[in-house]
Amino acid sequence: MTKVFTDGLSFALPLLIMAVGAIYSEKSGVTNLAVEGFQGFGAFIGALAAVLLMPHLDKSSQIPIYVAMLFAAVGGGVYACIHALLCINFKANQVISGVVVNILAVALTTFFTSAANTALAGTASNKFILGVSNRYSIPLLSKIPWIGGLFQKMYPFEWIIIGLVVFFWYLMYRTRYGMRLRACGENPQALDAAGGKVVRTRWIAVIISGALSGIGGICFAYSIMANYSPSIYMGYGYLAIAAMIFGNWSIPATVLVCLVFGIAKAGGQQLCIAMQLPGNYTDLFNMLPYILTMLLLIFFSKRNHPPQASGQPWDASRR
Amino acid sequence: MEEYIVEMRHITKRFPGIIANDDVSIGIRKGEVFALLGENGAGKSTLMSMLFGMYTPDLGEIYVKGEKVEFRSSNDATARNIGMVHQHFKLVDNYTIAENIVLGVEPMTRRLGIFPSVDMKRANREIAQLSKEYGLEVNPTELIQDVQVSVRQRVEILKMLYRKAEIMIFDEPTAVLTPSEIDFLLRIIDGLRKAGKTIILITHKIEEIKQIADRCAILCRGRLVDILDVQTASVQEMANMMVGREVSLTRVKSEPHFGKNVLEVQNLTVLNEHRFPVVKNVSFSIRSGEIFAIAGVSGNGQTQIADAVAGLEVASEGAILLNGKQITHDSIRSRAQAGISYIPEDRQSTGLVLDFALSDNLALRQYPKKPYSDHGILNFGRIRENAVTLIDRYDIRSGQGPKTIVRSMSGGNMQKVIVAREIEEHSDLIIFVQPTRGMDIGAIENIHRYILDERDRGAAILLISLELGEVMDLADTIGVIFSGEMLKIAPAREMTRYEVGRYMMGVKEA
């Protein structure tokens, strides 16, 4: 049981940071289906930075992880500029832009991973071997019965993500930028008439979205996968979008949804082990979060309130 | 020229194809209510958009407090203490009133002395005080989506006051209000004038100018006709200048000749998509030769009545009879063929196929019948001939005659297309829903003449209008609807404008 909580949390938090990114973009009025591409591209840049750095450091050094997170954020943010440019400046259809950005990310990162491996190691592998981050348990808290699992064997990035989520929650609901951002996604005319800058607000939001997605991606690479490869495009980005929708575009609610997803996934795996089913059944149980997604969609999509202006390009001349 | 707080000299503004303002010069004195009168498209809003920094003039100069200014955005205008209430409010629905007011100029504080954060407590306090000061009672913590249109307008006014506006531009502020709300707004404007603010009022309603304005500039087709002292100018004179020809302000109505009952609506109930009743147990009847007008504030169920009669909405309870025959469950087309014409509220989506040619739109009702089609094959020659006749008869103006794509036409001409098509059917019952919405005096005069002509021909007319003036001018019988219930039905000559207005607000015993 404790393992369900431990694994659940380590899956839920990277998902959450991607969902928070998606919320930023959508709350500013830019529909974001590009999370999958952002996280993949961000993770690629992070992983590349790590493999370049690793030969110069001690084998057990944990420094590359933090460097990778930083670069993943930068990479995701830079890559998100494509989506921002298409949606905000060129007023493209935002759904199509999101899909295009995703497809482009898969193609670009697969190609450049092999190219980088050829240059570095001489083999055209499509993987960067990263290893798995160290894990730490919190004294005392981890001894609590049942939920103690939440505090056992934590990846350090989990703490960073929790900090980031708190910071970005505060930014959205308590600060001037957040107030303008939320107005921008509801009624950009109102913000414009009040003297705010719609284009700038949306650009910043989409870049934040890319950066947070990149962090989510590299955390998956350093935990479940232990390497960077095209299998990073597992659909976690879409799961993050689903979490955002069930969370009704609210950060606190999305935290809960991500926890439920994480625990469902970890629970499925433990169930599979407990029932002593052959390993290939794991895939079946891995479907749990997605089935949950479909069920929740049926019940929750009706009373949701998406940002009113999400998906609509802002045209300053049409006031 | 020192006496003017705002001066616009020789302003010219061109848009592709039209000259919106042609060498317009006006001067506005501090502390007056200055009205800009003109028809739709006369260039009033364009002129004020330049004063508010949303457009830059092609030619001409703007002076504020004697200084020459060149505004690049509305922020520049705000910095010069100019504010504007737009015709369509610019508010965030799920923000509180206070949040909407401070958006863009948020007061800041530091939480725990470190973290910067918007100080909503201070904002709420300041706004409560400001709203008391000017008699604009609002509750700062209420959400915009929960308050009425008139309150939203007060929020827009408070937005200007919060930004320390001295010069306030109101763009058609009364278009969305009921008569009593209009009175309240005019009192607010009067209060602002007494507080030393300068008010610019854009409108096409002369009676409001008469009530509140000190001076009035009249624009016609982009040019300044004259600047008048409102005290000494007559309404007829102002109307003629505004339209550019003699207009008749009073509707000449002949004595009614009522015949047999054409439409009978009995205990009609209509549910909306949430299964909630929006029309509740409504009964009325219309005789031939009678104009039955339903007055009411927008959204009280009047459109649903029209839609239920025309067949666009399902009547969940009750009966609809046309010439004594049950049509409650008939299809839209069989009702139309039984004798119902319908001029819908939404011209663009319900009334027309915007990307079809004018000739096709004029044939939308008759096309399945001979001679417009034979055994399912359309006869384009006849459809064209029909269009040529109607274009001439109803003075429909378009770029390329019958083959003009309707989308490219002006709103007034689109309405003429629908009116022509529906009236030409010579139906027993004609339903007009907001037939003159957004149209100007000249065009309104024409539409009203058609309505009265059809009545005199012996048609029964169901008129649904949000314009109380229109209802009072045209109706033989008035029904007032409030929250889905028909509160009062009475002959028009037995009701005053104020009684109708009070019923519209839901007051049962006037």
If you measure CA to CA, which chain A residue comes closest to B100?
Answer: A190
What sign does the dihedral B454-B457-B461-B466 (CA atoms) show?
positive
d(CA B283, CA B266): 4
Taking domain B261-355+405-504, whether its CATH number is 3.40.50.300 is answered by yes
Question: Residue B250: how many CB atoms within 10 A of its CB?
Answer: 7
Tell me the helices (H) and strands (E) count for chain A, helix number first. Answer: 12, 2
d(CA B451, CA B56): 42
Predicted-complex ipTM score: 0.86
A193 vs B74, B95, B115: nearest CB: B74
Q: What is the mean pLDDT of residues A217-246?
A: 88
Domain presence at residue A263: no
Query: Is A302 exposed, middle or buried, given 0-12, 13-18 or 19+ CB atoms closer than 10 A?
Result: exposed
Contact B415, B347 (CB under 8 A): yes
Nearest CA distance, A38 vs chain B (angstrom):
30
- List CB contacts of B339: < 8 A, sequence separation 6 or more: B322, B323, B427, B428, B429
Domain presence at residue A207: yes
User: Which residues in chain B are closer than 8 Å to A174, comparing Cβ atoms?
Assistant: 111, 115, 117-118
Domain presence at residue A257: no
- Report CB contact under 8 Å: A183, B106: no
Nearest CA distance, A1 vs chain B (angstrom):
40
Three-state DSSP class for residue A291: helix
User: Which residues in chain A are closer than 8 Å to B75, comparing Cβ atoms?
Assistant: 195
CATH, range B4-243? 3.40.50.300
User: Which residues in chain A are closer than 8 Å to B74, comparing Cβ atoms?
Assistant: 193, 195
Nearest CA distance, B106 vs chain A (angstrom):
7
| Residue from B78, B94, B103 whose CB has the most chain A CBs within 10 Å, to mutate | B103
d(CA B492, CA B263): 18
| Residue from A177, A184, A187 whose CB has the most chain B CBs within 10 Å, to mutate | A187
Domain presence at residue A278: no
Q: Number of C-alpha atoms within 13 angstroms, CB side, residue B23?
A: 1
Query: In total, how many domains does chain A have?
Result: 1
| Residue from B56, B78, B90 whose CB has the most chain A CBs within 10 Å, to mutate | B90
Nearest CA distance, B271 vs chain A (angstrom):
19
Three-state DSSP class for residue A214: helix
CA-based end-to-end distance of chain B: 52
User: Which residues in chain B are closer than 8 Å to A180, comparing Cβ atoms?
Assistant: 103-104
- Report CB contact under 8 Å: A190, B91: yes
Q: pLDDT by residue for chain B (510 residues), tens digit each?
A: 457 999 999 999 988 767 889 999 999 999 999 999 987 778 888 899 999 998 899 999 999 999 999 998 888 999 999 999 988 889 999 999 999 999 989 999 988 888 899 999 999 999 999 999 988 889 999 999 998 888 999 999 999 999 999 999 999 888 777 777 888 999 999 999 999 999 999 988 888 899 999 999 999 888 999 999 998 888 888 888 888 877 777 777 888 899 999 999 999 999 988 888 999 999 999 999 999 999 988 888 999 999 999 999 999 999 999 999 999 999 999 999 999 999 998 888 888 998 899 999 999 988 888 889 988 899 999 999 999 999 998 888 877 889 888 887 777 788 889 999 999 989 999 999 999 877 777 788 889 999 999 999 999 999 999 888 899 999 999 999 998 999 999 999 999 888 898 888 888 764
Q: Which of B106, B129, B130, B131 is closest to B119 using CA atoms? A: B106
A175 touches chain B (CB under 8 A): yes
- Report CB contact under 8 Å: B105, A194: yes
- Report CB contact under 8 Å: B103, A174: no
Domain presence at residue A303: no
Domain presence at residue A271: no
Q: What is the pLDDT of residues B271-330, one digit of tens each?
A: 988 888 999 999 999 999 999 999 988 888 999 999 999 999 999 999 999 999 999 999
Question: Phi and psi for A59 in degrees, rounded to 5?
Answer: -60, -40
Q: Which domain holds residue A63?
A: 13-138+147-250
Report yes or no on whether pTM surpasses 0.95: no
Domain edges within chain B: 4-243, 261-355+405-504
Question: Residue A249: how many CB atoms within 10 A of its CB?
Answer: 21
